[in-house]
A and B are shown apart, each in its own frame.
Chain A
Amino acid sequence: MSDLRGQTDDGAELYTEDVSRAYRLAAREEPGPEVDAVVHAAAVRAAGSPSRFPGRRRGAWWGVPMAVAATIVIGVSVAFLASDRPDSVSQLNESQRSLPAPSAAPASAEVPAADAARQIPAPEGETGGQAPVAAAAREARPTRERTTRDQAVPRREQYAGRPPAPASAAAPEAARSMRKTAPEVRSTEENEPLSPEVWLQRIRELRNKGEVAQADESLRAFRRRYPDYPLPADVPLPAQVGK
């Protein structure tokens, strides 16, 4: 198989072709075919095992299923949030409607979508911070049209306290609630009693305008509120007031 000459010093001198040739002639043994088959099978089996790329791709077989599962989970979460957002907005609308309109409207009008977005639970992984909130607010915009169609309460108008467009059943109610504010102001003579002087002055004004019946009604209310207050001479007590 090899020539030792050139590889050793004095050892090469001892090597002859005869020794190598004689050994080659004698040495013809080989492993049996069954041994070859066993070794070959083991080698092929090992080459086909997952560990055939040491330190490079080991364990990567689960990468694709994991990516698919993660995509599904995220997609379902986003879809759920998107479908759930109008409900959150409607709940917010309801609570806004129940508030006294004149006092709440100006403040909330400055922060329309962002506030609504803050009430939407952030998806897992988006833990707090402004970016997820802003993202939720951005995502909420496409749903505004649907919210408007469904509830006829455009978010900005509602927060601003303006009467909503009468496009659905909820709109007239909201409009009524907003318009109610005027009669309520008029009835404050009884519900939120004015001072006697101011009240009497209003009665005078009503009489001067010729609204005698309304003036008498207001005077009767005054009397019920302040039964012992001496009436001035220019505000005569009608005949029925004392009854």
Chain B
Amino acid sequence: MEPLRDEELMLRYRDGDASAFDALYGRHRAGLFRFILRQCPSRGEAEEIFQEVWMRLIEARSRYRVEARFSTYLYHIAVNRLIDRSRRKSNAPVPSLDDPDCPESFAVAGAAYDPLRQTAARQEAARVLAALAELPPEQREAFLLHEEGGLSVGEIADVTKVGPETAKSRLRYALQKLRQALGDRDE
């Protein structure tokens, strides 16, 4: 049996089916959290915003209409919350690899039984995350919307309220820099 689409789950939750929300939450909790975490100075603040995003979704459930993919809807809320936060305080840097609030950033899956591979993977992940942290906020946001939210260029443009060409350009530059960071591993 084919799993229900996100939009169908949200409609069910709107009509009172709490289990539909659990399914939605399970699908999007990790990606949304990382999307927020990469743009917050601390894990604590990321969790706070993450919680606010879901609360907004819960509060607005009665007005939900299927006008776009659910991911677009959800990440739109998250982007707005991040904008609100940045307006309240100066934009803080994204967590670095040395951030003690993000110890799991270094838990690299698949390398647990090979210390050498684990070390290499950790180094590669560290470089990607470091490069990501160094990206301009708009490029980082575009990359994360694509990578964590699975949004297309057009959806990124909708969520960030820019034209498709601008969104594509931001994504392209982000990828260039990240790849460059990975290419630097042998340097």
How many A-B pairs have beta carbons closer than 8 Å: the answer is 141
Give the residues in chain B near A23, CB-CB below 8 Å. Answer: 125, 128-129, 132, 147, 178
Interface of A is mostly: helix
A1 touches B148 (CB 8 A): yes
Tell which of A42-50, A65-73, A125-133, A211-219 binds the partner. Answer: A42-50
B147 touches A15 (CB 8 A): no
A80 at the binding interface (Cβ < 8 Å): no
Q: A16-B179, A43-B13, A54-B14 are in contact. Are A7 and B152 (CB under 8 A)?
A: yes
Q: A14-B172, A23-B132 are in contact. Are A47 and B21 (CB under 8 A)?
A: yes
Q: Which of B84-136 contact A (CB under 8 A)?
A: 102, 104-111, 121, 124-129, 132
Shortest beta-carbon distance, A44 to chain B, in Å?
Answer: 5
Q: A1-B31, A29-B37, A39-B55 are in contact. Are A14 and B179 (CB under 8 A)?
A: yes
Give the residues in chain B near A9, CB-CB below 8 Å. Answer: 168
A95 at the binding interface (Cβ < 8 Å): no
For chain A, the count of residues having a C-beta within 8 Å of the partner chain is: 40
Tell which of A30-38, A114-122, A165-173 binds the partner. Answer: A30-38
Give the residues in chain B near A35, CB-CB below 8 Å. Answer: 47, 50-51
B33 touches A30 (CB 8 A): yes
Chain A residue at minimum C-beta to C-beta distance from B103: A29
A177 at the binding interface (Cβ < 8 Å): no
CA of A15 to CA of B152 in the docked complex: distance in angstroms? 14
Shortest beta-carbon distance, A4 to chain B, in Å?
Answer: 6
Give the residues in chain B near A52, CB-CB below 8 Å. Answer: 14-16
A27 at the binding interface (Cβ < 8 Å): yes
CA of A23 to CA of B182 in the docked complex: distance in angstroms? 10
Excluding A8-B171, A14-B175, 19 further A-B contacts by CB distance (< 8 Å) are A2-B147, A8-B153, A11-B168, A11-B169, A19-B128, A23-B147, A25-B111, A26-B108, A28-B107, A29-B33, A29-B43, A36-B25, A38-B51, A47-B13, A48-B18, A52-B14, A54-B14, A54-B63, A55-B62
Partner-B contacts on A (CB < 8 A): 1-2, 4, 7-11, 14-16, 18-20, 22-23, 25-32, 35-36, 38-40, 42-44, 46-48, 51-55
